[in-house]
Chains A and B, each alone.
Chain A
Amino acid sequence: MHELGIAEAALRQVSLQASQAGATRVHRIVLRVGALSGVDPDALRFALEIALPESPVAGAEFEIETVSAQARCNRCGRDFTPANGLLFECPHCQAIGGTITQGKELDLVRLEFS
Chain B
Amino acid sequence: MTNMPHPTSSSAPSAPEVVVVDVRDPADTLPPPPGDPAPHGSRTIDLKVRILDENDRRAAENREFFQKRGIRALNLVSSPGAGKTTLLQRTLDAFAGEVGAAVLVGDLETANDAQRLRRPGVPVAQITTGGTCHLDADMVARGCAALRLDGVRLLFIENVGNLVCPASFDLGENRRITLVSCTEGEDKPLKYPPMFSSAHAVVLTKIDVATAMGFDRAAALANIRRSAPQAEIFELSARTGEGFDAWLAYLRALL
Contact mask B74-111 → A, CB, 8 Å, 1/0?
00000000000000000000000000000000000000
Interface residues of A in 56-93 (CB under 8 A from B): 82, 84-89
**Residue A53 at the B interface, CB < 8 A?**
no
Q: A13-B53, A107-B51, A110-B44 are in contact. Are A87 and B227 (CB under 8 A)?
A: yes
B43 and A112 contacting across the interface, CB-CB below 8 Å: yes
B43 and A86 contacting across the interface, CB-CB below 8 Å: no
Q: Which listed residue (B41, B51, B133) contacts A108, Cβ 8 A?
A: B51
Q: A36-B193, A38-B164 are in contact. Are A21 and B51 (CB under 8 A)?
A: no
A48 to chain B, nearest CB (A): 11
A96 and B52 contacting across the interface, CB-CB below 8 Å: no
How many inter-chain residue pairs (CB < 8 Å) link A and B?
A: 100
**Residue B237 at the A interface, CB < 8 A?**
no
Q: Which residue of chain A has its CB nearest to the CB of B222? A: A96
| Chain A contacts to B: CB under 8 angstroms | 1-2, 5-6, 9-10, 12-13, 17, 21, 23, 27, 31, 36-39, 82, 84-89, 96-97, 100, 106-114
Assembled-state Cα–Cα distance A23/B48 (Å)? 18
B42 and A109 contacting across the interface, CB-CB below 8 Å: no
A38 and B55 contacting across the interface, CB-CB below 8 Å: no
4 other A-B residue contacts (CB within 8 Å) besides A9-B51, A36-B194, A114-B40: A5-B136, A36-B193, A97-B229, A110-B44
B43 and A88 contacting across the interface, CB-CB below 8 Å: no
Contact mask B25-45 → A, CB, 8 Å, 1/0?
000000000000000111111
Q: A1-B133, A38-B165, A38-B168 are in contact. Are A113 and B43 (CB under 8 A)?
A: yes
